[in-house]
Amino acid sequence: MPVNEEERQRRYWRSTLRVTGGLLAVWFGVSFGIAFFARELSFSLFGWPFSFWVASQGALVVYCLIIWFYARRMDQLDAEHGAPES
């Protein structure tokens, strides 16, 4: 059964919102959740508090992974739904 253009765009938009919402939830958890609980990690690593390393280095790695995953997943969604890049 062929799907009309409007339904295809609606499915694409829903998929895009689902990916974006999920990644925003991960970003929020990393930005606020890990920083909140890192205070309880009270040992030192190379002379710096371990909470500093978790908040600064670990968060940057996760942010880069979020960007990589978003770009890869959006390319897949574009191919699945036939959405041209603009």
Q: How does pLDDT run across 34-86, given as a tens digit for each residue?
A: 777 777 767 777 777 777 777 778 889 999 999 999 999 999 999 988 776 66
Apex 30 CA angle, 41 and 16, nearest 5: 165
- Residue ranges of the domains in the chain? 13-81
What is the per-residue pLDDT for 26?
A: 95
Tell me the residue length of the chain: 86
